[in-house]
Amino acid sequence: MIFVTGGAGFIGSNFVLDWLANGGEPVVNLDKLTYAGNLNNLLSLRQDTRHIFIKGDIGDTTLVTKLLATHGPRAILHFAAESHVDRSIHGPGEFIKTNVNGTFSLLEAARAYYAELSETERAGFRFLHVSTDEVYGSLGPADAPFTEQTAYAPNNPYSASKAASDHLVRAYHHTYGLPTLTTNCSNNYGPYHFPEKLIPLVITNALAGKALPIYGDGKNVRDWLYVGDHCAAIRRVLQDGRPGETYNIGGWNEKTNLDVVHTLCDILDKLAPGKAGSYRDQITFVTDRPGHDRRYAIDAGKIERELGWKPAETFETGIQKTVQWYLDHQDWVCDVQSGEYLKWVEKNYAQREGRGE
C-alpha cells in the first residue's frame, strides 16, 4: 500500500493512473478537491478496488494519522500543493497554508507513524516529496542549468512556499531520521492539465476562437517534461533513490513560451483547422506578470547516472500526444471550464492590456 496526497490533481492523478496501470500495489489517495482536483481524472478507477479515495486536507492531522494507522502504507508520496504562480500573486495565503503548513502537518504525522514501525518496516519506508525547479529562481541566457547543488532563490510566493516545504522535508530527514526523498521537476505537460497553465490554456482558447495570451515578449524559457516521463522518474526514485537525497527531473527540452505556442498552433492547424487562417492569428501579447522568471533549465544528469532514468518523450512526440488528448476529451475540458476557473480567468486577464502579435 502507498499513500498519495493530491492524487486527483494533474501530476498526482497521472501518477495514480500510471502506478496502477503498471501493476503497483493499492493506493490510498487523499485529496482536498479544490478547483484543480478533479475526480473525473480518475473515472477509469471507479471499479478498481486497489484505489481508495478519501476527500480530505493534508493539514488535518487527525485524519492523516488515522489513515496511516488504518492502511499501513510503506510509502507516502506528497503531490498536494497549490501550484500556480499567478494565483500565488493574487492570494499568497493559501499557498503558505497548503504548501508550508500542510507539508509540516503531513511530516509530523509521518514522523509519528514512522516511529511506531518495526525495524524491518522502517528500512523500507519512504516519504517522497514532489517539488519544482522554480525554487532555484531564474537563469540568465548563458547560465548552466539547475543542478541539485544550485542555491535556492525563489522569486514569487508560490516558489517561496515550495522552497520552504523542501527545507522542512530536508530538516525532518537530518533531525529525525525520516527517510525522505525530494524531486524537483521542470514544467510538466500532458493529459488532465488544468487549463490555467500555458499549454492547455492555449489549446482550449484556440479551439474556442479566443485570444491566446502570452506574457511580455514571449521569450521566457522553460524546460518541458511530459507528465508520463515524470511519473516514470518518480517510480524510479521511490524504488532506488537514496534517503535524504534530491533528484532533479527534467525533459532536456528548453523552449520559449512563444515557440511553444507556435508549435501548438501549427499542430492544431493540421488536426483541427479553423474556419479561416491559422490559430497563430489569435496570439495576443499581454502585460507581463510581476516577478516573472526569465529562464528555467534542469540538469537531469544525476537521476540518469544513479537511477538510469531519462525521458522517453521528446517535446515533439509529447506535445503531439497532448494536443490529441485534448481534442479527444472535450467533455473533460467543458467540465473543468466552469465555476472557479472562469472566475480566475476574469480576475487574471480582464485588467491586462493586450496587443496582437
Q: Which residues are catalytic?
A: 133-134, 158
Nearest by Cα to 180 from 78, 99, 248: 78
Find out whether 58 and 9 touch, Cβ atoms under 8 Å: no
Question: What is the arrangement of strands in the sheet containing 212-215, beginning at the earlier edge strand?
Answer: 212-215, 283-286, 354-356
Please tell me the total number of residues recorded for the chain in this structure: 357
Cα(9)–Cα(15) distance, rounded to whole angstroms? 10
Partners of 3 in beta bridges: 28, 76
- Per DSSP bridges, beta strands 75-78 and 126-132 are parallel
Cα(254)–Cα(141) distance, rounded to whole angstroms? 11
Find out whether 32 and 8 touch, Cβ atoms under 8 Å: no
The burial of 158, by beta-carbon neighbours within 10 Å (0-12 exposed, 13-18 middle, 19 or more buried), is given as buried
Cα(245)–Cα(148) distance, rounded to whole angstroms? 9
The burial of 93, by beta-carbon neighbours within 10 Å (0-12 exposed, 13-18 middle, 19 or more buried), is given as exposed
Q: In this structure, what DSSP letter does residue 214 have? A: E
Cα(40)–Cα(23) distance, rounded to whole angstroms? 21
CB-side neighbour CA atoms (13 Å) of 267: 22
Task: Please give the grid coordinates belonging to residue 342.
Answer: 472562469
Find out whether 137 and 152 touch, Cβ atoms under 8 Å: yes
What residues contact residue 304 under an 8 Å CB cut-off, 6+ apart? Answer: 310
The pair phi, psi for residue 76, each rounded to 5°, is -115, 125
